[in-house]
Chain A
Amino acid sequence: MTGKLKAPNTNPIGSLFRHQIFIPLAALILLVLFNLIADPSFFQITYGHNSAGNPVLSGNLMTIIDCGSELAILAIGMTLVTAASGGQDISVGAAIAIAGSVLLRVLCGSESRPTELHAPIFVAFLVSCVVAMLFGAFNGILVAGFKIQPMVATLILFTAGRSIAAWVNNNELPIVSEESFTIFGGYIPGIPIPTPFFIALICFAVTWAVLKFTNLRLYIQSVGINEKTSRLNGLNPAVIKFSTYVLLGLCVAVAALIKVSRLSTINYSVIAKDIEMDAILAVALGGNSLSGGKFNMGASILGAYVIQFLTTTLYKFDVQSDALSAYKAIVVIALVIFSAPVVREKMAAAWKKLRAPKSIRHQA
């Protein structure tokens, strides 16, 4: 008796519906349609020149890929953390503040308006990476070592982070006047597409390479789905969980570089405010389970851009930045309600009831 392998379902549309990436795609399509109907000029892109005389493309779509890129980079790390430990890291905003502050500190020394940079940008970035990864390690130890719930563990950095960031620079707001520094958050001279997008592309490439050329995906998914079995197969769940927090720290450093470079300065209480909500939303919108396990990185990244699309759309309708969070909160709640097992069961049962009469009719 030989077992035969059935050919996989080759219906492309059908399998698209079932694929995880359908969720952010559907959201994107909805948003696009909404804007098309409300005001097609939303999609206009204009070619012009910025204050430095460089050619730039501007428009809502450019804003989306500009700001969405930072979020996408963060979403990469958040996806890994969520997948491995089944929880979220709410300290990313505060961590970005710290990383940005360290960056400025290295660049500016103790002067708040230096004329020259105290260190090469590359060195400053490296230092901020190390610091961000150390704070990630701190969270990692609490979660993986002390087995504290991720959201609660990261509460500590959430509380103290911005204070630490301010302390790093003695509560001053250093401003960098070096032109080349603005490249990262702005534009490379001669290229009209905002640089963050290219930085994001590099990150996506690196992520893709890591996922392809190492076993990270298998290990993280295995640990996230069944820790006990993972142990019995030779894995060390604590180390794997710990590493995801450190990797998120790396993402934080990159996002901080972009953010600080945009303004060439920092505002400790405002920078990356509420970005953790966006990051969690991006992961959830990407169809990833917030309680860990399998993950689809591409869907998360798409989810990040869709969240940015939502934000930009709301801005267009003159929603205040402070008020944004109310709308996003509703989206989160809706998403979470519909993915709750209790709700799904009720919906499945109701769906069955709706279909049942048909089959009875057939039988009769």
Chain B
Amino acid sequence: MRENSILEMRGIYKGFAGVQALQNVDFTLCKGEIHALMGENGAGKSTLIKVLTGVYPKDAGEIYLNSHSGAVQIRSPQDAQRLGISTVYQEISLCPNLSVAENIFLARTKGKTISWKTMNQKAGALLDSLGIAVKPTQQLGSCSIAVQQMVAIARAVDMECSVLILDEPTSSLDESEVEKLFLLMRQLKARGVGIIFVTHFLDQVYEVCDKITVLRDGTLVGEYEIAELPRVKLVAKMLGKELDDMADIKNDIPVYHKDAAAPVYEAEGIWSIEGIQPFDFHINRGEVNGFTGLLGSGRSECVRTIFGADKVMGGSVRMDGKPVTIRKPMDAMKHGIAYLAEDRKRDGIVGELSVRDNIILALQVKTGFFKPFSKAKATKFAEEYIKLLDIKTASVHTPIQSLSGGNQQKVILARWLLTKPKYLILDEPTRGIDVGTKVDIQKLVLKLASEGMSVTFISSETDEMLRTCSRLIVMRDRKVVGELSGAELTQSAIMNTIAGGEKE
């Protein structure tokens, strides 16, 4: 083992049916180090963490801890805990109805009885030593999320962990709470605890971390010292692009010219309960625009606000120049907006219903309760789009959940195309689809735009957006930080805008 390191993972391989999630990944954590683990979707971050914490068994590779000679076997979360590896998850994994002290010591006390006095005393001492300002007798549910997270960390510390994994701890915290968390992290660092900090927030990484490990597509891109990796380079490594990459926008298909200046949709100062800063947005007829930024930067939240999918808290909207109210999905649908959600399983498919029912769902709801389509009509609609998008299914009656992910995605796309929207929002439409179809979808988007449809296209793969969009809105850490169009549409410009911070 390397000197000063407390954890080393070497040559980790992990695959699931047909997909290689991790290939030959190394990871090293040193004593008293805050180490960021970063990567886009499908990079393998969560798989690596799950291998380390015993949720998944690894296919190959070794894990070494400085406390044990030889490789260690981690076959269950209990093993991981025993070896001193603790995790604090994004969702609170404590019991809100119990007190702080009880949560810290739950399932860890010796013997059958509980002495509240001792427990509260010990908890109080622990909380004080970590600078967490909360009474041990307070009910956890009545504390803020930030405090709840810190209590979870306190529990991990009390279990004398040597490796602490923080999985997206700051997603629900505001600025001052993040500061408090960082204070605690620095304290732990001083005690010699190694912290793995999994996050999407660039600014935070640069504020508190010592090293960064970047994964992409299941492979290790590299391990870097913070000081040696300027932001732009980091973004480049995450997206897999080199700085000098120039991607041309190929437009074989003519751009829509009629009423080009007429905005189909305009919004001012809209924001939702999901915590993005109020933003303005407009899109013209026949225009294709995109929202880009790293995962977690708020792209999906923006479009969900536009569609009314999340509770809209403020702002004004106009469609074709006329003021409209869009507070819920039905409003948006009535005004000709369609939204293909990012999370297919949770927000997209209705699992047990047939392909046909899934395809006609949105249009049917739009048409009205008393006007059901006849079976023949519905089947006709379904068959039309099955042919158009080349959806592989045994029949129109097959339950959608038995289709492959890519084909499910096509069914949902068919659903929204069927509503013949004025403005189509696609959030990660190409995720989980084979390469050939990805290109087909991009061509389809351009074709629809040339016929007058406005499209918003969000994708983790910036190539796709560069090939289809004429304007890109850049987001970072839940704020709009820039807008690029025309000649500015290059990989390097995108990455610079995302990275922000010090200019190179």
Contact = CB atoms under 8 A, between A and B. Distances in A.
A212 B374 CA distance: 9
Interface in A225-273: 225-226, 228-236
Q: Which of A3, A6, A230, A293 has the largest number of chain B CB atoms within 10 A?
A: A3
A213 interface: yes
A244 B83 CA distance: 53
Interface in A194-224: 212-216, 218-219, 221-222
Nearest to B370: A214
B392 A3 contact: yes
B390 A222 contact: no
Contact of A222 (B353, B383, B386): B353
B371 to A, nearest CB: 8
B353 A232 contact: no
A214 B369 contact: yes
A310 B495 CA distance: 72
Contact of B353 (A8, A216, A225): A225
Contacts of A1: 390
Nearest to A213: B372
A294 B309 CA distance: 25
B327 to A, nearest CB: 12
A356 interface: no
Contacts of A234: 329-330, 333, 362, 365-366
Contact of A218 (B330, B339, B364, B387): B364
Contacts of B387: 2-3
A354 interface: no
A105 to B, nearest CB: 35
B61 to A, nearest CB: 30
B415 to A, nearest CB: 8
A227 to B, nearest CB: 10
A226 B393 CA distance: 21
Interface stretch (B239-247, B344-352, B450-458): B344-352
B397 interface: yes
Contacts of B350: 221-222, 225-226, 229-230
A5 interface: yes
Interface residues of B, number: 39
Contact of B396 (A5, A232, A294): A5
B81 to A, nearest CB: 27
B369 A8 contact: no
Given A3-B392, A8-B395, A231 B349 contact: no
Interface in B363-415: 364-366, 368-372, 383, 386-387, 390-397, 415
A5 B395 CA distance: 6
A228 B362 contact: no
Contacts of B362: 233-234
B404 to A, nearest CB: 13
A3 B415 CA distance: 18
A230 to B, nearest CB: 7
A192 B365 CA distance: 46
Contacts, number: 91
B437 to A, nearest CB: 10
A5 B347 contact: no
B346 A228 contact: yes
Interface string B114-145: 00000000000000000000000000000000
B161 interface: no
A5 B386 contact: yes
A226 B366 contact: no
B357 to A, nearest CB: 6
A212 B348 CA distance: 25
B283 interface: no
Contact of B361 (A8, A213, A218, A228): A218
Contacts of A215: 364-365, 368-372
A3 to B, nearest CB: 5
Please indicate which of the listed interface residues A219, A231, A232, A293 has the most CB atoms of chain B within 10 Å of its own CB.
Answer: A232
A213 to B, nearest CB: 7
Given A5-B386, A226-B349, A226-B350, A232 B395 contact: no
A143 B243 CA distance: 56
A221 B392 contact: no
Nearest to A5: B395
A215 B415 CA distance: 17
Contacts of B349: 226, 229
A348 to B, nearest CB: 16
Contacts of B372: 212-215, 218
Nearest to B371: A215
Interface string A66-103: 00000000000000000000000000000000000000
Given A8-B395, A232-B341, A294-B352, A222 B347 contact: no
Contact of B397 (A8, A218, A231): A8
Interface in A1-28: 1-3, 5-8
A225 B351 contact: yes
Contacts of A212: 372
A68 to B, nearest CB: 29
Contacts of B386: 3, 5
Contact of A232 (B347, B366, B383, B392): B347
Which of A5, A219, A222, A293 has most B Cβ within 10 Å? Answer: A5
Contacts of A3: 386-387, 390-393
Contacts of B307: 232
Contacts of B369: 214-216, 219
A248 B426 CA distance: 40
Contacts of B364: 215, 218
Nearest to A8: B395
B171 to A, nearest CB: 19
A231 B394 CA distance: 28
B256 to A, nearest CB: 27
A229 B415 CA distance: 12
Q: Which 7 pairs between the two chains have the least Cβ-Cβ distance?
A: A234-B330, A234-B365, A234-B333, A233-B362, A215-B372, A3-B390, A8-B395
Given A8-B395, A213-B370, A230-B350, 10 more contacts: A3-B386, A5-B386, A7-B395, A215-B372, A219-B365, A225-B351, A229-B347, A232-B309, A232-B339, A236-B330
25 contacts: A1-B390, A3-B386, A3-B387, A3-B392, A6-B394, A6-B395, A7-B395, A214-B369, A214-B370, A215-B365, A216-B369, A218-B361, A226-B346, A226-B349, A226-B350, A229-B347, A229-B348, A230-B350, A232-B347, A233-B329, A233-B333, A233-B361, A233-B365, A234-B333, A294-B353
Interface of A: 1-3, 5-8, 212-216, 218-219, 221-222, 225-226, 228-236, 293-294
Interface of B: 307, 309, 328-330, 333, 339, 341, 346-353, 357, 361-362, 364-366, 368-372, 383, 386-387, 390-397, 415
